[in-house]
Structure 1
Amino acid sequence: MTDSQPVISCRNAWKIFGSDPEQFYANITADMSFEDMRAQGYIAGVRDVSVDVAKGEMLVIMGLSGSGKSTLVRCLSRLHDITAGSIIVDGQDLGSLSEKELIELRRRKMGMVFQSFGLLPHRTVLENVAFPLEMRGQDKHERRQRALEVIDLVGLSGREEYFPRELSGGQQQRVGIARSLAIEPDIWFLDEPFSALDPLIRREMQDEFLRLQEMLGKTIVFITHDFDEALRLADRIAIMKDGAVEQCDTPDQIVLNPATEYVAKFTEDIDKARVVHAGAIARPLNGQPATGTPVSSGKTIQDLARLLVDDTRDQIPVAADSGTIIGSLDRIEALDILLR
């Protein structure tokens, strides 16, 4: 469930690495490519990025290694200072915050989970999860209660006294997630949190993550290089190349209408029927009657395969979760997606 008011608003952000990035930025021309910059000894880790993240939204940032994914997230949390542009988080301009104000914002609003679990080996699960609350100076009894709550939330009850070495990779990642949830962040940054896990555990963690998001409704920026993972988790996907965002849109639209050749290469091997939802290709009724039983806007074309083959209607009504008819599905168009 998302809100129209952005929690994060990034406008024309640049992060340039080199000897004098501000001076170099002042002389950048519109036709200067990523390679032109590199030839002059500068790397544009983030290049003129504008993107908003709404309350409760999960924005997945993806791209190949070196595309700028992690650099962008580090800018959104001001682990990196940007060279130009602006980043507003919860109404505050990150660039204008003092060190003290920035620390307070991170403590109060932000949680972070990275690919490496970063657990303290000499501390138990309970102690690892309670650690950020200890750093915050919270009462021992209160932090223990909160730690136990989130340990239960991520499915690790009964393992509170285990040490990290006694846990599987998936369990260690759950501890990392519980630790970041302990501070009750409004905004959650996750940098390839599941990429070190084997495929079965990774799928299990994705399921767990979707369950948590359904319960908690966090505003999430999630990095991955795995397009299947992005399609499964995202409300919207931002695909990056050479520091720039090539396209930022819903999974349906990225698969149906890739904005660039680069994005099209990401989508060419994807089974579109598995991704595209009825609501994404529903057309307004424009006064035409909606006849027969409607289909849910949240159903994928794959979910509707049997109906599309057996039904004789040219136009099939599409209903929102509330039951309201929002448009109609052209059966031939849907069958074309199914058979691609």
Structure 2
Amino acid sequence: MADPNFFPIATSLSFSEVAALSGVALPEGVDPERRIEGIAPLETAGGSDAAYMDNPKYVAALTATAAGLCFVSQRFAERVPAGTVALVTPTPYHVFAKLLSTFHPQALRPGSMFGSAGVAPGAFVHATARLEADVTVDPGAVIGPGAEIGAGSVIGPGAVIGPQVRIGRQCSVGAGVALQAALIGNRVIIHPGARIGQDGFGFAMSPKGHMKVPQVGRVIIQDDVEIGANTTIDRGASRDTVIGEGSKIDNLVQIGHNCVVGRHCVICAQVGMAGSSTLEDFAVLGGQVGLAGHLTIGMGAQIAAQSGVAGDVPRGARYGGYPAQPALSWAREAALLKQLVAKRGKGPSGGENA
């Protein structure tokens, strides 16, 4: 349940309003004027709360819930207790997310820590920077020369927006973020501590030492991207690093210079992408995946957590392991290895080897 000190409830809704919002019909006999006052997990929900369930691991919690209303898929509908109204939908989580957004709209993107729109005392905005209406700049933020920030955007405390950086409308730049050599689209969320547009790791190696190669590309982040806390995205060397529309990047991710991330990709925590790698649209990288440089992960491909990818992955493929290979081959290899280990552990008579 949300702590109202951090996430105040913006509204309450009748059962009929919840049904209309979710596109699900109320069951017969349900009072349409009964109200939902909040959102809660199955285990702690009360009669005025809404919950959801769509995972077999939580069947026991579903059968014991006291929630007033629960979004549930058809396969679990019969497990909803008599005191809870079941709204049956093929997408319980998506519908629940829509309801949660209605109750807690301020949690959709980080806002100002200090108040309303305007430049707060203690912030510095260069005379040549251009801010549209309703931009919020929190204390300690620095806006460099020639920077432009679109209407409704929020720049958090201690953020540094470098010279000539462009930030679109309705963006949120968290506390301590540093941006340079970057063009940011609309409705982009950048969580605290992210570093975007710094040098890529480029050196001309030789026996006499390593010569720094100037990194003269940019970072281009398209609309509706979300970037997690303490993630780093290097600017391009001679071409741009690009993050495509709608892609979601978790915390502590490293994206090297010249990388191209397509539209609506998902990159989980602690992924490392070496320079000049490409993710095509809707690709997914699990946590701690490592990509070698100059390779392509095809459209819709999925890479399992902790995999090491050394070569191109075809579109739609599912890979895993170290080195990464097709998931079915990886599973067979793991099963065979387990059998061999078990076999070596037994002596000629079937007993354990010393």
TM-score tier (shorter): under 0.3
The alignment's TM-score, normalised by the length of structure 1, stands at 0.28
RCO higher in 1 or 2 (8 Å CA, sep ≥ 6)? 1
* Length-normalised TM-score, structure 2: 0.27
